[in-house]
Structure 1
Amino acid sequence: MPPLRTLLALPVSLALLGLAPTGSVAAGPPPSDTVLSRFVGRGKAPAAALLAHEGSVSRFAHAEPEAEAEAATRPDAASGTAAPAPADAIRPTDRFRAGSITKTFIAAVVLQLAAEHRLFLSDSVDSHLPGLVRGAGTDGRALTLRALLTHTSGLADFTAVTRGSVPLTPVQAVRIALTLPQSRLRSTGGTPIPAPRGLFAYSNTNYVLLGMIVEQVTGRSYAAEAMRRLITPLRLTGTSFPGSRRSLPEPHGRAYAADGSDVTDLDPRVAGAAGELVTTLADLNRFYAALLGGDLLPPRQLREMLDTRTAHGSYGMGLYPVKLPCGTTVWGHNGRIAGSYVRTAATPDGRRVLTFRVNTDATADPDLEPALLAAEFCPRTS
């Protein structure tokens, strides 16, 4: 398995799990560790760190006393506002909800089926789900699987109504989407503009439909196919599709909404094939390394996955590129679901992968994510 690095962030604690990076780099602490220390010093990041190599703990720093004292004075869950998990509860093996990172798994399954000629990306949605997609100016006979994979279908996002808090069947999610106007993009000025079919507009509805199509083609659920094709072969022992199970498998920490309420227990049907996955940091690193390294898809399908031309540079198929200030481009996905924000990024060959998460809906400091990506993937000089 190629060298990987992982980090885990919690409200008052932070964990890193990593292997030595590839190539020749300057001596000193790992670059992302240095960045995290800088953010801790500015009071904008967690205040405890766990560093491990190949799964064995080599250093643990407790939270700063000020951070521990602050956490101790916060109301507990019984009062309606949950206090963060204590620093000593940090475990790099914790299970957590990965949100839209699920889309990379679904896209990989669909592309494997395409490689087996069991479906074609040029297939219409209607050829697999006849009559389902009709309404709001949308016709499944004119939509292709490629449009779903690349978010260029124009289908509205059902979560605009449910806000990710209402458990739904896939059919219910699609029907809600069809009551809405077509997806909208935001211009650079922030003004909403229509996004007709053929333009990129991110919509969870696309991947709910892809999950249904996987089941139509194979006779098994998208979860069963992902388990058989991806999770079991890669030995992703901490990864699962929980279906309707509200609790997280052990071990796990707590998850908090933006208002501080405890949302650890959550019905995954709020997201379905667009965001149901439960996983671990190490499993995500292993999965993205194998995917981008060519272990899961034939070369043609992997090229399709990384081709952003259909989405005009914004998105491939279950992956998107980010060009860093140094000129390096990394590939991956983020995931946001109640109580969890996750980000995985990797070099195009999968030889270096970085994953981090926070156990709330977003990072407290918007500068943290770009700083970590730049520190990990931009070259350092001696």
Structure 2
Amino acid sequence: MKAARDEEPGLSLLVHRSGEEPTLLHTGLASLEHGLPIGPDTAFNVGSVAKQITAHLILLAARDNLLRLDQRAADLLPRLKISDVTVADLVTHRSGIRDAESLLSLAGFRDLDHYTADDLRTLAYRQDQRAVPEGHFLYSNTNYLLLAEILETVHRTTLRDLARHRIFGPLGMHSTHFKADPRQVIPAAASAYQATHHGWQHTEVPVTLPGPGTLWTTVGDLDRWLTHLHQHWRHPHQLPWQEAVDYEPSDHEPYLYGPGLYADARPDRTAVFHYGHEQGFSAAAHVEASGLRMIVLSNNAGLSADRVTAAILRDLHQQPTLAPKEALVRAAALERTPGAAVRPQPTLDDWSQHTELGTFICDQAPGSLRLTRSADALHLWRRGTRDQLTPLRPGVYASNGYILTLASSTDQADRFTLDLDRAPGLTYIRQ
């Protein structure tokens, strides 16, 4: 008889100590509909883990004199208006270019709306100044969308074919693919799911963004990649490819960020890694100076790969004699994070209870936003969806990953500033 968790989406895990054979563990189902278990050949969407592949291709292009890391990105992307951004700025998230998916969310896009990489690049090209001061870190998927466009420009081929020819083929990563079209079939692909009050539901949406994400791979193929990465780790006191791109402070203290990689540079725990969260999938790829490789892939939205990775690493570091298999079994038994409840949509009656304060537009973002007041609460509307704003202090409100700051009282609101985590400094003006 199967345990309850054997009937749920789950995990593919790998620990590989230097000089030893890798240890693998697979739990749960790749497909709930067909009852297919997760196994060593199951492919997952690894989200932002793809950034290290894209960054490596940029470094190879620089080595081959197809571009320079200190070159202005606008030389290669004529539509880019922020003229002082370099290729290296894009690689290290120091361009100040806002995250286009965050901008698109302001238009009220729903989960199953279709948009393309070029739709997002168009939003990037509307931006005419940095959202943060020069040299400051702002994590933005747009940087890697633009890097993918640069690679396709200088190589005159697609990122998918380039990666297969330069990295995946030579390293034997035959189960690894950049998905360039939502209709593309990925062999042995898992589906991703989220728990709801009524059972499980699919979480994938019809969007593919090669460069910052949309990389499908297996734990075995990622182990080949991390082995290759570690072979370029020439000195334990110098991070991989640090001679080409500096690692500088990131958005997560005490970590640094370099060529598509976060780094923990503390002497007793030197490692490089990246996490990915994409459409209900999550992934973690971690390699230490000692050669220890750790890979966790999840198709359960309530089971985060970075949390599982942290538990495994804690056990292995605190108990050096612990068998890797035991560490994996312990981590796989972690409690799931409860599935996020579906936010109720406002009804037609909601609107009748609100006082209109105005419709606002921003030249850096699509669509328009509306402000209303109901009783003592302020609300922001995006194409029929509504966020109730929580007051933090006079004139400053918060909701769902952003801060709204009014330039005047709510009775005379003529403009406000919206600061999203990855798209700060958006000024909205009353139409």
Same fold (TM over 0.5): yes
Amino acid at match of 2:282: Y
Aligned with residue 88 of structure 2, among 136, 141, 146: 146
Q: What's 1:30 paired with?
A: none
Partner of 2:214: 276
Deviations 1:70-103 (A, max 9, x none): x9xxxxxxxxxx9957987121210111111111
RMSD: 3.8
| Offset, 1:121 | 0.4
Alignment of 1:229 onto 2:166:
yes
Q: Return the alpha-carbon distance in structure 1 between the equivalents of residues 34 and 201 of structure 2.
A: 16
Q: Which runs of 5+ in 2 are unaligned?
A: 1-5, 106-110, 323-431
SS of the residue 1:273 aligns to: coil
Residue of structure 2 equivalent to 1:372 = 312
2:224 paired residue among 279, 286, 291: 286
- RCO higher in 1 or 2 (8 Å CA, sep ≥ 6)? 1
Relative distance call for 1:85 and 1:368 in structure 2 (3 A) is: farther
What's the offset of the Cα at 1:375?
A: 2.7
CA drift at 1:157: 0.2
Give the Cα–Cα distance (whole angstroms) in 1 for the partners of residues 318 and 129 of structure 2: 38
Structure 1 residue 352 corresponds to structure 2 residue 300: no
Aligned twin of 1:126: 74
Q: Is the 8 A contact 2:295 2:309 kept in 1?
A: no
Query: What secondary structure does 2:256 align onto?
Result: coil
Cα pair distance change 1:202/1:16, threshold 3 Å? closer
In structure 2, what is the equivalent of residue 186 of structure 1? Answer: none
CA distance in 1, matches of 2:264, 2:194: 27
Q: Which is further off, 213-222 or 162-171?
A: 162-171
User: Does structure 1 retain, via aligned residues, the 8 Å contact 2:192–2:202?
Assistant: yes
Structure 1: any 5+ residue segments left out of the alignment? Answer: 1-8, 25-52, 64-70, 72-81, 184-193
Question: Deviation of residue 213 (structure 1)?
Answer: 0.5
How far apart are 1:251 and its partner, in Å? Answer: 1.8
What is the aligned length? 303
Partners of 1:233 and 1:366 in 2: CA distance = 28
Counterpart for residue 272 of structure 2? 331
* Aligned counterpart, 1:28: none
Within-5 A mapping of 1:174-253:
174-178=121-125, 195-246=132-183, 248-253=185-190
Could you tell me which amino acid in structure 2 is paired with residue 96 of structure 1?
Answer: F
Give distance in 1, aligned partners of 2:148 and 2:233: 22
Q: Between 250-259 and 282-291, report the one with greater CA deviation.
A: 250-259
User: How has the CA–CA distance of structure 1 residues 267 and 14 changed in structure 2, closer, same or farther, with 3 Å as cutoff?
Assistant: closer
In structure 2, C-alpha distance between the alignment counterparts of 1:108 and 1:10, rounded to whole Å: 38
Kindly tell me: are residues 198 and 281 of structure 1, through their superposed partners in 2, closer, same or farther at Cα, counting changes over 3 Å? same
Q: Is the 8 A contact 2:69 2:86 kept in 1?
A: yes
SS of the residue corresponding to residue 332 of structure 1 reads strand
Give the 3 Å change call, closer, same or farther, for CA 276–201 of structure 1 in structure 2: same
Larger relative helix fraction: 1
Structure 1: which amino acid aligns with 2:67?
Answer: L
Give the superposition deviation at 1:252. 3.0
Q: Deviations over 1:172-198 (max 9, x none)?
A: 212224557978xxxxxxxxxx63231
- After superposition, the C-alpha distances for 1:269-288 in whole angstroms (9 at most, x for unaligned) are 2x232102111111111112
Letter in 1 for 2:277: R
Deviations for 1:346-380, whole angstroms, at most 9, x for unmatched residues?
0136x221000211345359753322222345662
Which entry has the higher C-alpha Rg, 1 or 2? 2
Give the C-alpha shift of residue 318 in structure 1: 0.5
Q: Aligned pair 1:317/2:259, yes or no? A: yes
The equivalent of 1:44 in structure 2 is none
Measured at CA, do residues 83 and 22 of structure 1 come closer, stay the same or move farther in structure 2, by a change above 3 Å?
closer
Q: Is the 8 A contact 1:133 1:174 kept in 2?
A: no
From 172, 195, 200, the equivalent of 2:119 is 172
- Cα gap change, 1:83/1:238 in structure 2, threshold over 3 Å: closer, same or farther? closer
Looking at structure 1, the residues matched to 232 and 306 of structure 2 have their Cα atoms a distance apart, in angstroms, of 32
Residue 80 of structure 2 aligns to which amino acid in structure 1?
Answer: V
Q: How does 1:13-32 map to 2 (within 5 A)?
A: 13-19=10-16, 21-22=17-18
* Secondary structure class of the residue paired with 2:202: coil
SS in structure 2 of the partner of residue 234 of structure 1: coil
CA distance in 2, matches of 1:381, 1:250: 37
% identical aligned pairs: 25
User: What letter matches 1:22 in structure 2?
Assistant: S
Q: 1:238 to 1:310 in 2, by over 3 A?
A: same
Separation (CA, whole Å) in 2 of partners of 1:231 and 1:294? 17
When structure 1 is superposed on structure 2, of 147-156 and 212-221 the one drifting more is: 212-221
